[in-house]
Amino acid sequence: MTRSTPHLVVESQPSPPHNVEIQSEAAAVSSAVAPNRRGRGISRGLELQRLVENKGKLLVPIPPEYRAPVGTYASKLVSKIGVEVRAQVEDLSVKSWKAVDEGIKAPLLQSLKDQFDFEGDPIDVNKAITSRCGRRLSDYTHRLYEKFKKLKATKGEAYARSHPPPQIAMEQWTRLIEKKWTNKDWLALKNEGQLPKLPEFYKSTHYNDGTGEWIAPKCQTNYEEMVGVDAALNQEGATPFTGEQMSVTVLNKRPGYVKGLGLRPTSSIRTTSESTLKALGLRPSSSATTHEYVSCLETKIESQNETIEKLLEANRQQQKINASMMEFLIEKGYTGHVGSAETSSND
Domain identity same for 94 and 216: no
Which position has the higher pLDDT, 314 or 164?
164
Question: Distances in Å between the alpha carbon of 284 and those of 248, 259, 270, 272?
Answer: 9, 17, 9, 8
Q: What is the mean pLDDT of residues 124-144?
A: 90
- Asked if residue 20 lies in contact with residue 338, where contact means CB atoms within 8 angstroms, the answer is yes
Structure letter (DSSP) for residue 258: B
On whether the CB atoms of residues 272 and 233 are closer than 8 A, the answer is no
Residue 15 pLDDT level (bands cut at 50, 70, 90): very low
Q: Are residues 127 and 60 in the same domain?
A: yes
Using the predicted structure, report yes or no on whether residue 97 has a pLDDT greater than 60.
yes
Give the residues across from 250 on adjacent strands. none
| Mean pLDDT for the stretch of residues 174-195 | 74
- Rounded mean pLDDT of 15-23? 40
Same domain, 261 and 180: no
Nearest to 295 by CA among 118, 132, 65, 62: 65
In a domain, 66, yes or no: yes
Distance linking the first and last C-alpha atoms of the chain: 23
- pLDDT tens for each residue of 21-62: 333 333 333 433 344 444 444 555 677 888 888 888 899 999
pLDDT score of 116 = 92
Q: Is the pLDDT of residue 136 over 80?
A: yes
Q: Which domain holds residue 157?
A: 42-193
Selection from 265, 268, 241 nearest residue 255 by Cα: 265
When pLDDT is cut at 50, 70 and 90, the band that residue 16 belongs to is very low
Yes or no: say if 110 and 44 are a contact pair by the CB < 8 Å rule: no
The Cα 133–Cα 86 span in angstroms is 10
| pLDDT value, residue 215 | 81
Check pLDDT > 60 for residue 286: no
Beta strands per DSSP E along 212-272: 213-214
Domain assignment present for 347:
no
260 and 150 in a common domain: no
152, 174, 193: which is the final residue of a domain? 193
Assigned domain for 250 exists:
yes
Q: Are residues 180 and 254 in the same domain?
A: no
Q: Domain for residue 115, yes or no?
A: yes
Proportion of the chain in helix, strand, coil states, percent, rounded to 5: 60, 5, 35
- Cα 153 to chain centroid, rounded: 26
The answer to whether 25 and 16 have CB atoms below 8 angstroms apart is no
| pLDDT reported for residue 330 | 80
DSSP letter at 257?
B
- Entry pTM: 0.47
Q: Say if residue 119 is in the same domain as residue 231.
A: no
Residues contacting 264, CB < 8 A, separation 6+ = 256, 257, 258, 295
Whether residue 25 lies inside any domain: the answer is no
Per-residue confidence at 311, pLDDT binned at 50, 70, 90? confident
Residues 188 and 259 reside in one and the same domain: no
Radius of gyration of the chain (CA): 27
pLDDT computed for residue 164 by the predictor? 93
Q: What was the pLDDT predicted at 163? A: 93
pLDDT at residue 189 is higher than 80? no
In a domain, 222, yes or no: yes
Range scoring the smallest mean pLDDT among 123-132, 292-301, 322-331? 292-301
Average pLDDT of the chain is 71
Measured CA to CA, the distance from residue 269 to residue 272 in angstroms comes to 6
Asked which of 289, 311, 331 is the last residue of a domain, the reply is 289
Q: Which residue has the higher pLDDT, 243 or 106?
A: 106
Contacts of residue 219, defined as CB under 8 A and 6 or more positions apart, other chains included, come to 202, 206, 207
Assess whether pLDDT exceeds 80 at residue 272.
no
Residue 68 DSSP symbol: S
Domain count, the chain: 2
Final residue of a structural domain among 253, 271, 289:
289
What is the structure's pLDDT at 343? Answer: 41
284-291 contacts at long range (C-beta below 8 A, 24 or more positions apart) = 285/248, 285/249, 285/252, 285/253, 286/253, 289/253, 289/255, 290/255, 291/255, 291/256
Does 96 lie in the same domain as 151?
A: yes
pLDDT of residue 174: 92
Q: Does residue 59 form part of some domain?
A: yes
Q: Based on the fold, state whether residues 189 and 204 are members of the same structural domain.
A: no
Confidence class for position 303, pLDDT limits 50, 70, 90: low
Question: Can you give the pLDDT at residue 190?
Answer: 64
**What letter represents residue 60's amino acid?**
V
Q: Which residues contact 123 (CB under 8 A, 6 or more apart)?
A: none
